[in-house]
Amino acid sequence: MIAAVESVKQKLREPYRKVCRELDVPYSSLMRWKGRRQAGRAVLSKPGPAKVEPLDLEALSAEILALRHGRERTRGTGALYAAHRSQVSRRDLHALVEAARRELRQERQALERRVEWQVPGLVWSMDDLKKYWLRPCAFGHLHLVLDLGSHYNLRALGDEVMANGWRVAMNLEDLFQRYGPPLFFKRDNGKNLNHHAVNEVFGEFGVIPLNSPPYYPPYNGGIERGHQQILRELDLRIGSEKVSPHVLRLECEVSGHEVNHKRRQSLKGRTACFALETGRGLVARFGRRERKEAFEEIKALAVDIAEQLDEHSNGLAETAFRYAAETWMQLNHMIRVTRNGEVLPPFYRIWSH
């Protein structure tokens, strides 16, 4: 900026004050910058009091890494600043914390296994969500059923109360009759999703349930992303407006429909609606006999895996069954599992070597 002012001053042969008015540069700031440059100091200084105590950056970095880093914010930053305010500015500390959070996020993503659902219609998932959509201090609930292979929202059910087990079962029975039952169904450990009526519907249609490990939401990450897509559409339609239960039900249904008919890069430019239709024929080939055979093969694999794990925890049977189901799906080309872009072999092959 000083160089620009000097150049214009030479061309116009006008005093600094007039040049500053023409360039919309504060005259007092220009004089202050020139004085600092002549004194051999930095032209610009950071706002806030000068930090006089020496800073041990390595120790500070270790403290930053020990904080509780979430997806969007880090807990404990305020207390850390209070402890080091004489050594580092709040702005610089926040920059260091943001860099640490970004680095940790990249490390986690690099280590995460990515599951690609390659066959539409064969693996579904369901989950519940609640948010303040209704009148103040009252939650609205969203019950979502999603086909993971096509990302198709089979049902986005909004209401003022969470769907109970009987309603979930009736909803699934209707969807199975309309689209054909999937072979696998992922769910978390909510009581309404594990209701005996839901299990009876699974048994009647030959659907194999896969429960998420306790306290591990990424296992059912596909449905979480589905929720976010519905939420974005709902934000466009109702935003933070408080609505009646009737309006919420209607808007959830319409939002699910809108998301289903958007072209997706992950589906090579196709819509979820079109992708689901391509898998309907394969689903129809899994009759009762084929479903029973698949279940018996997975159960046998689970027994072998449980022996290889050599553990004695209460959840061993469920853990082994999840690994066995994933192995079976990999061997039958229903899913593709990668880490850092490299395709991973089936779990059972790893353990059997």
- Worst-scoring range by mean pLDDT, 148-162, 213-227, 231-245? 213-227
How would DSSP label each residue in 5-39? Answer: HHHHHHHHT--HHHHHHHHT--HHHHHHHHHHHHT
Structure confidence by residue, pLDDT tens digits, 174-209: 999 999 999 999 998 889 999 999 999 999 999 999
**Cβ neighbours, 10 Å, residue 37:** 12
Of 136, 125, 128, 126, which Cα lies nearest the Cα of 241? 136
Give me the pLDDT at residue 47, please. 58
Distance CA 211, CA 189 (A): 7
Distance CA 153, CA 156 (A): 7
Strand ranges of the sheet holding 342-343, from the earlier edge strand across to the other edge: 114-117, 335-339, 342-343
- Worst-scoring range by mean pLDDT, 18-27, 149-158, 277-286, 296-305? 18-27
Give me the pLDDT at residue 353, please. 43
- Cα atoms in the Cβ-side hemisphere of radius 13 Å centred on 284: 8
pLDDT band for position 28 (cuts 50, 70, 90) = confident
Tell me the pLDDT of the chain averaged across its residues.
Answer: 82
Q: Do residues 46 and 91 lie in contact, with contact meaning Cβ atoms separated by under 8 Å?
A: yes
Give me the pLDDT at residue 48, please. 56
Q: What is the pTM of this model?
A: 0.67
Give me the pLDDT at residue 218, please. 59
Give me the pLDDT at residue 318, please. 87
DSSP secondary-structure letter at 113? Answer: -
What is the rounded end-to-end Cα distance, in angstroms, of the chain? 68
Residue 352 scores a pLDDT above 50: no
Give me the pLDDT at residue 212, please. 85
Distance CA 318, CA 164 (A): 24
Distance CA 227, CA 141 (A): 12
Residue 35 scores a pLDDT above 80: no
Which whole number is the average pLDDT over 107-115? 66
In this predicted model, which residue has the larger pLDDT, 102 or 165?
165
In this predicted model, which residue has the larger pLDDT, 350 or 88?
88
